[in-house]
Each structure stands twice: as structure tokens, then as C-alpha cells.
Amino acid sequence: MNVNNKFFFFIKIFFNLLIITNYFFYIIFGKTFFLFFATLITLFFVLTLFYTFKINKIFFYFFCLLLIISLGSAVQSWDARSIFMFNAKRIFFEISFKEYLQSYGFNTHYPILYPILAATLNSFFTYWSEIIPKVSVLFLSLIPLNNIYSEIKTKNMQLLFTFVFVLLFEYQILNGDIDVLISIYFIHIVILISRILQNYALNINVYLFLELLTSTTIFLLTKPQSLILYIALLISLLIILFVKKIKQKKNLFLLSVILLSALPIYHWKLININNLNYFTTSDFDFSSFRNNFSSLNYFLKKIIFIFDKIFVQKSFMIISIFLTFILVKVYYSNTTNKIVRLAKNNLVLLLFFSAIQYFLALIILYISLSSNLDLATILEFTVTRYIVPINMILMLIGFKFLNIKNQ
């Protein structure tokens, strides 16, 4: 590993550590160090961004464009304004974490790393800004999105990826919401794991392990939905290690790092258990899920209705057409052995198995909610956001097959 790569790994890991440390400092000391961390995080963000210019100019220009557009409007989406930005505003005005827990909030059981970062960046001002805090989504997106671009080898493919990304997710990453963010982070983590499984050199893996540990910690502290993807990834990894009979000592350490990264979210869950003064909108009910099986006809109608609402989403239809064209092209322009070899790639398998598990979890969630609330209304307001990880996974799998010559 050359000196430039080591330096880039260092600034990425240190940037992640600053975000995580800021989270714990707020829990322990309140807002005391906000301005200090806001300065350091901003400096390392700028340093990381300009360093990407040397590595990938297409990504640099695209990300700068996202940054400029994001600074031109306030938050509008429901989740971003009513949950994340509202909690960030409470953090900004409350003196301590204890006061945050005791005051009224909406969905305050959600992990607060993102609201803390938003409030920290706003500490440059004496008032609450409607624009600056939402840029924290792009602060968190910088490293994982750059890593995804590095997985796409050619400039033409990167330009195509940029076009499809904008077409699929449109304004979602610019609006202060974090569904696209957790999808980007999930792909980033899968890429790191696949690189660790491929590399045997210890000097490379040390940096990859540190980046994996810090990135997974941030990922789990963003939204409850990330925990489902985390469990799906862990199960997928265990399946691959078992089926491929990979028994290296490095893999035991890999599993230990992944499990260790869950300690902060476990700590957050304990805080929630011990502080019941919060309002939650979770309506998951196992009895409702069980009751749906009382009539097979009723159950099938529900399943068909859910599938119909998912499959008619514009983003899902776009990615389905995109994948169909790619699979047809790959099938007629490559040998069967080459296609099978790519299909057995650790990155592709991790993404594929995780997507299946996440999709099943999504179906179970909707079935469990259907007897308590109007299923059509729930699907209308949530399905666009909940299928974002599936769309992101399918998009990257498509690009891996499209770029099969460089695999």
C-alpha cells in the first residue's frame, strides 16, 4: 500500500471517528464540545472531499453539485422535518442529553447520531438554520458514496451510474432524509467486507477493518431500519463462509469486528429501556401477523396487494427494466463460465442474500400492520422509502454484471 492510500485511509477513519466521538461526547457532556467538533468535522470533510478530486473527478464534480443543490432549499419531507430535524432542533436548544430524554419528542427512540451531527454543524450559528443541518446527510454520505464509485472501474460506467442514481432517487438524498443514506452505507459496508475476504495482506486489512468498524457503527446509529439490514448481512456472511468453507482466522476476526460495531446501538437500546418518556409510532404486532394466517384466501389477497404496491413504484420499475437489459446483454455477450464466476463473487452473493432477507422482512412488517391500520395508506406513505435499499442493491449488482469484462 502506497503512502497516498494510507493517508486517504487515515483521513477517512479519522473523519468517522470524529462523528462517533461527537455522538458520545454529547451523551456524556451535552453541547459543550459542539463548536469544537463542528470545526474539526468540517475541516476533515473538506479535506476528504478535495482528496477525492485526485482519485475520482467524476465523483468529485457530482458530489459538489449535490452539495450546492442541497444548500439551496430547506427540508420538506415528513421524516426529515418531523423526526430527524425536529430532534436535531431539540438537541440544539436543550442543554444536556438528560433534558433531551425528558422533553417531548416524536420518535425519540430513533438513534440520534444524525440529529446530533446536524445540531453540531448548526452550532456555527446562534439560531436554528433550516438549510445547514440537512447538509449533514451529505457529510455522512461522502465516504461510502466515494467507495461505491471506486468499485465501478471505468469513467463511462461511473457516468451511467450517476445518471441512474439521480433517476432512481431524485431529491431523496438532498432532502434531509436518510433512506438513501443507509442504503449507501450498507453497500459501502458490503464492499469493505468483500475486499477483506479477497485480501490476504495484513497491512491492507488493518485499514479495512478500522474503516469497517467505524462505518458499521455509524450505519447502525442512523435509523432502526439499518438493524434489519445489519442482521441480514450478518446471516448472509455466515452462509457464504459456511457454504464456501472459508476457515481463515481472519474471518473470525471479521465477524468479531462486525459484532463489536453493534455495541453502541445496543447501548442506545438500553438507554431507551431505562428512559420510557418517549413517543413511538411502532405498530408492529405479532398477534396481527398471526391472525392473517386464519384465512388462506385473505392472506393471499394481502400478499398480492402488497406486491402490487411495491412493483408499481416508479423506482422499482426503472431498476427492473435496467436489470433486464443488462442480463440480456451479459447473457449474449459472455460465456456461461464467466457469468457463473461473477455470480459466485462474494460481493454479489452478500448483496443478493441480504436483499432477499430484507424483502421478506418488509413483507412481514406490512402483514403485521395490516389489521391495525389502513394498509393502503401505510404503503402509500412508506413503500417508496422502504424499497430504497433493494433498489440500491439491485443497481450495484446490475453494474457489476454490466462491467463483467473488468471483473
106-120, 164-178, 283-297, 332-346: which has the minimum mean pLDDT?
283-297
- Reported as a single tens digit per residue, the pLDDT across 311-344 is 888 888 889 898 888 888 888 887 777 777 777 8
Helix (H, G, I), strand (E, B) or coil at 279: strand
> What per-residue confidence (pLDDT) applies to 278?
47
Query: Euclidean distance between the first and final Cα of the chain, in Å?
Result: 21
Per-residue burial over 385-406, b = 16 or more CB atoms within 10 Å of its CB, e = otherwise: bbbbbbbbbbbbbbbbbbbbee
pTM value?
A: 0.92
Task: Please compute the mean of the pLDDT values over residues 76-97 and round it to a whole number.
Answer: 83
Four-point Cα dihedral 34, 38, 41, 46, nearest 10: 180
Confidence of residue 263 (pLDDT cuts 50, 70, 90): very high
Cβ contacts of residue 348 below 8 Å, gap of 6+?
342, 397, 400
Q: Where are the domains of the chain?
A: 3-274, 286-406
For residue 134, the model assigns a pLDDT of 87
Q: How far is CA 325 from CA 247, 328, 395, 402, in A?
A: 38, 5, 12, 10
C-alpha cell at 118: 446536524
* Contacts of 120-124 spanning 24+ positions with Cβ under 8 A: 120/22, 120/26, 120/34, 120/37, 120/38, 120/41, 121/38, 121/41, 121/42, 122/88, 122/92, 123/31, 123/34, 123/35, 123/38, 123/92, 124/35, 124/38
- Which tens digits make up the pLDDT trace of 104-148? 666 777 899 999 999 999 999 988 988 888 899 999 999 999 999
Assess contact for 370 and 288: CB atoms under 8 A.
yes
- If we measure between CA atoms, which residue out of 114, 122, 135 comes closest to residue 38? 122
Q: Which amino acid is at 49?
A: L
Pick the residue with more confidence: 146 or 286?
A: 146
289 pLDDT tier (thresholds 50, 70, 90):
low
Percent with pLDDT over 90 in the chain: 43
Report whether pLDDT(64) > 50.
yes
Q: How confident is the model at residue 373 (pLDDT cuts 50, 70, 90)?
A: low
